[in-house]
Amino acid sequence: MEIQVRGGASLRGQVRPPGDKSISHRALILSALAEGESQIFGLSDGEDVGRTASALSAMGAAISLPDELGSPEAEVRVVGGKLSEPSKPLYLGNSGTSMRLLAGVCAAHQMDVILDGDESLRSRPMQRIVEPLSLMGAKVASASEVDASESDLSASQAISVPSKAAPPLAIKGGNLSGIDYTLPVASAQVKGAILLAGLRANGETIVREFLPSRIHTEEMLAKCGADIAVTYGGEFHQTTKLRPSQIQPHIWRIPADPSQSAFWIVAALCAPASEIVVENVYIGPGREGFIDVLLRMGAKMEFEQKISASISEGFSDAPSRSIPPPGIPPSGIPSIRAQTSSLIATDIGPKEVPRLIDEIPVLAVAAAYAQGITRFHGVGELRTKESDRVASICTLLRSLGGQIEAEGDTLTIQGTGGLQHGQVDAAGDHRIAMSAAVSAMAMPAGSEVSISGWEAVATSYPRFLEDAAVLGVRAQGTTAQWTT
């Protein structure tokens, strides 16, 4: 599917992006593990979260979805507590978070399961979860030479196939023991997989991290009664200790996704005469790095703390931001007002990268619209995302006349104050597609960007174009205009 986005926009108005994707996956999983009925308000309506829901249903969780997902009021009910072996391989589409978190869940249950996904997911690294889950006692291996569509195939057959750790993954779970594990890569998905497995392991599970990553699994486990403790400092940034626990049902209210909010914020900062409000955005440890960077670049943003930080409570002392900028809550669910700004270049260090990993494509667009040279250091992990984002960010900016170089793990962008019309291939990657759309929104009237592969956006933000139209309708004169 190809779309065209026109320049000449002045973004005005108010939007509420979908419920946070990371929190949505975890709310479904924890609700499926808790005995009894949980409620989830504001679940993401993206396909990725739908994959987690379908997989949990196939394992016996009773999930009732409202007719229309996507609003903060939409209520999902989950009756969980008794997961069992699914009759077929679990197909997880494009969703790396589903695969890694569910691998932890399956490893902790007496079941033989195969987890599979689309071509992109099949190429993503899984050794990072295979290692710790195997150390805990699960049998986890790649079943890449196995036809995962064969529903009668048991994981115990599949794991005899020697192969590198790539999906489909065959898991034979149960009888786990806790481990003391230091994450070799900063990854909240790996941490989440280990902690979800640790819920049903014998003894204590400890996860140690050198760099901050998002803390949703920890804070959400605490909220539903798990025996979990988090400490900061010493040799590690964070140490998480979990003892086996039966978690309790919970009412989850999911705030808007900061990673999706970043698209509107950058569009408003770069497009002329724009002023928007993005409502009720989750700003918590491990997710707020893009705000620090945009503030350093001179972004005009204000934060209004409108409702209580129901998800963030309890872990708000997590010191992921070393020096909180003045006026910014360290965590919470503020609405964010953003206005057209003259952006200047900045340097992003390797330690910051895990806190803004998903926002780098759109921050690269901001850097192209800024004045000066912006460098992102230590971005090697970007090569392991839905596309090789080092390559796809370079292609995106170059297709629109931008100047960008990748050398080793450093991206260098020469900001020239703008980008030009052109054609972009989304490379099967939702965040590349939406970043291309943002590039176009900030261009002068008369410019147009064609984006092929737009369908990838459904994985995380199916209503992106509707929200764009909301901001456009309130604008004066010509705004972003869409043809499909």
Residue-wise burial string across 249-274, b where 16 or more C-beta atoms lie within 10 A, e elsewhere: bbebbbbbbbbbbbbbbbbbbbbeeb
Residue 59-98 contact track with ligand S3P, rule CB under 6 A, x = bound: --------------------------------------x-
Candidates 393, 443, 398; CA nearest to 421 is: 443
Which listed range, 108-116, 184-192, 229-237, 387-395, lies at the site for ligand S3P (CB under 6 A)?
184-192
DSSP string, 376-428: E---GGGGGSSS-HHHHHHHHHHHTT-EEEEETTEEEEEEES----EEEE-TT
Residue 52 or 374 with smaller CB distance to ligand S3P:
52
Nearer to ligand S3P, 10 or 97 (CB): 97
In whole angstroms, how close is the CB of 214 to ligand S3P at the nearest point? 6
Q: Which is closer to ligand S3P, CB of 187 or CB of 341?
A: 187
How far apart CA 285 and CA 153 sit, in angstroms, is: 41
Segment contacting ligand S3P by CB under 6 A, of 82-90, 168-176, 186-194, 468-476: 186-194
Looking at beta carbons only, is 214 or 223 nearer to ligand S3P? 214
Q: How many residues bind ligand S3P (CB under 6 A)?
A: 9
H runs (alpha helix) in 59-125: 96-107, 119-122
Binding to ligand S3P, residues 212-231 (CB under 6 A): 214
- Beta partners for 205? 242
Q: How far is the CB of 187 from ligand S3P (least distance, A)?
A: 3
Binding ligand S3P (rule: CB under 6 A), the pick from 46, 192, 284, 332 is 192
Residue written as token pair 């086996």? 244
Omega of the bond prior to 168 within 30 degrees of 0, cis?
A: yes
Minimum CB–partner distance for residue 414 and ligand S3P (Å): 26
- Residue 281 phi, psi (nearest 5): -90, 130
Handedness of CA 472, 477, 479, 484 (dihedral sign): positive
CA distance 390 to 370: 20
429 is annotated as an active-site residue: no
CB nearer to ligand S3P: pick between 28 and 345 = 28
Of the listed 45, 48, 257, 358, which one is catalytic?
358
Of all helices (H) and strands (E), which one includes residue 172? strand 169-172
The 3-state DSSP class for residue 106 equals helix
Q: Are 285 and 331 in contact (CB under 8 A)?
A: yes
Q: How far is the CB of 34 from ligand S3P (least distance, A)?
A: 19
Q: Which of 187, 238, 340, 447 binds ligand S3P (CB under 6 A)?
A: 187
Residue whose CB is less far from ligand S3P, 94 or 341: 94
Residue burial 428-440, b: 16+ Cβ < 10 Å; e: rest = bbbbbbbbbbbbb
Binding status of residue 331 toward ligand S3P by CB under 6 A: no
Taking the complex as a whole, the smallest distance from the CB of residue 254 to ligand S3P amounts, in Å, to: 13
Sole residue written with tokens 């996904």: 117
Contact track, ligand S3P, 22-51, x by CB under 6 A: x-----------------------------
**Of positions 189, 260, 346, 450, contacts ligand S3P by CB under 6 A:** 189
Give the binding range for ligand S3P (CB under 6 A) out of 8-16, 158-166, 181-189, 277-285.
181-189
Sheet holding 12-15, edge to edge: 12-15, 275-278, 334-339, 300-305
By CB under 6 A, the residues from 344 to 403 that bind ligand S3P are 357-358
CA atoms within 13 A on the CB side of 325: 17
Tell the smallest beta-carbon distance from residue 142 to ligand S3P (Å).
18
CA distance linking residue 402 with residue 220, whole number of Å? 41
Considering the complex, what minimum distance in angstroms separates the CB of residue 344 from ligand S3P?
A: 27
Question: Rounded to the nearest whole angstrom, what is the least distance from the CB of residue 366 to ligand S3P in the complex?
Answer: 19
What are the catalytic residues?
A: 358
Binding site for ligand S3P (CB under 6 A): 22, 97, 187-189, 192, 214, 357-358
